[in-house]
Every structure is written in structure tokens, then in C-alpha cells.
């Protein structure tokens, strides 16, 4: 009985020291990780909306209002892009449903409602098929398009060439881009980026 109590106390002490050490290391590294993530996001925003120099995240309240009024779903974050004090467009992080699960996109739409850039942040699409959405050959099709209306894949009468045997993944990306385009239009109507 005495040995069991002694063993329990030693084990508790080891657990307490381990938990304290883990907490200390997390406290130090979490700030560094957050800074690096912010830097990665800033770099990605500059790639998908190169016409902008500065980016400002719109408030959660404004995003919630726009989402409630328009029914946009999947929009996680929205940033206004500016250059020389003028609105240049928006960058939005959006989740859309592909064949293999959620696809996270970062999309830049300028104030003329043209797509300036697109990045696939994460996906679970089939390697060699749906995963081709990450390739520049697919993503570059979106640049400069969208000002005349919503985009569609070629199988639906649009000009975006769907990836062979991965139409669902292609349509998911197009849907996400169209949502960001419509969001830019809605924010423009509310006095933000866009028209």
C-alpha cells in the first residue's frame, strides 16, 4: 500500500513537471507560429491580389451581417485590399466541398470583379485527379475572368476547362471563386471593396 502511494505521487509529480514544461514551450512557440502564419497569409494575399499593397481584415460583425443577408456560406475570412488609399478588391478564404472533402481556397477579386489570383490552401482530393486543382495550369485559367458574370466549367457552358475525371473538384473551385466574386459585389454595395 505504501509503495503504491509512493509510486502514485512520483507519477503525479512527473506528470505535473511534464505538463508545466509543455505549457511553457507552447507559450514561447505559439507566438512564433502565429507570426509565421500571419506572414504566410500576407504573402499569399499579395499573390492572389497583386494590385493591392495593404490588406485590412473586415470585422467579424460586418462579415456576419453580409453572410446573413446574402446566405454566403463557407467564407472564413475577408480582407480589403488597398493601394495608394484606393480600394483594389478583396481577398477571401473560403471552404467549398469537393469530391474528397473540404477545399480551402484563397481568392483575390479586384474592384472590377475580376479574379486576380487563386491559391488552394488545403484539400483532400484524389491524388492525380482532383488534386490537380493545385496546379498552375488549372488555377491560371481564372485570372482576369469574372467581370462579365459568374464563371462555369466548360462542361456547364463556361470557359474554365475542368480537370479530366475531376469535374466535381473543378466545379467546387469555380463555386468558391464565384462566391468570393459575389461577396466582393455585396461588400461593394455596402460601401466596401468591389463596385
pLDDT tens track for 10-24: 999 999 999 999 999
Global pTM reads 0.79
Beta bridge partners of 115: 109
Distance CA 48, CA 30 (A): 27
pLDDT value of residue 51: 92
Closest CA to 64 of 193, 183, 157: 183
Confidence of residue 68 (pLDDT cuts 50, 70, 90): confident
- What crossing angle do the helices spanning 167-189 and 60-70 adopt, rounded to 10°? 110
Q: State percent of the chain over pLDDT 90.
A: 66
Q: What is the mean pLDDT of the chain?
A: 89
Give the pLDDT mean for 58-81: 86
pLDDT value of residue 114: 94
pLDDT in tens, 141-193: 999 998 888 999 999 999 999 998 999 999 999 999 999 999 998 887 434 44
User: Between residues 66 and 46, which one has the greater pLDDT?
Assistant: 46
Amino acid at each position: 500500500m505504501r509503495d503504491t502511494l509512493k509510486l502514485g505521487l512520483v507519477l503525479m509529480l512527473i506528470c505535473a513537471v511534464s505538463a508545466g514544461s509543455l505549457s511553457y514551450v507552447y507559450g514561447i512557440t505559439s507566438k512564433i507560429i502565429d507570426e509565421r502564419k500571419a506572414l504566410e497569409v500576407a504573402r499569399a494575399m499579395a499573390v492572389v491580389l497583386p494590385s493591392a499593397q495593404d490588406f485590412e481584415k473586415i470585422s467579424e460583425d460586418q462579415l456576419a451581417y453580409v453572410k446573413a443577408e446574402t446566405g454566403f456560406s463557407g467564407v472564413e475570412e475577408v480582407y480589403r485590399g488597398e493601394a495608394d488609399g484606393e480600394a483594389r478588391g478583396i481577398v477571401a478564404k473560403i471552404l467549398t466541398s469537393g469530391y474528397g472533402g473540404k477545399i480551402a481556397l484563397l481568392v483575390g477579386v479586384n474592384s472590377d470583379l475580376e479574379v486576380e489570383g487563386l491559391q488552394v490552401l488545403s484539400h483532400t482530393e484524389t491524388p492525380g485527379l482532383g488534386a490537380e486543382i493545385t496546379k498552375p495550369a488549372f488555377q491560371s485559367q481564372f485570372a482576369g475572368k469574372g467581370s462579365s458574370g459568374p464563371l462555369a466549367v466548360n462542361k456547364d457552358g463556361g470557359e474554365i476547362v475542368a480537370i479530366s475525371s475531376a469535374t466535381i473538384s473543378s466545379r467546387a473551385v469555380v463555386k468558391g471563386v464565384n462566391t468570393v466574386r459575389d461577396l466582393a459585389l455585396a461588400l461593394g454595395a455596402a460601401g466596401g471593396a468591389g463596385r
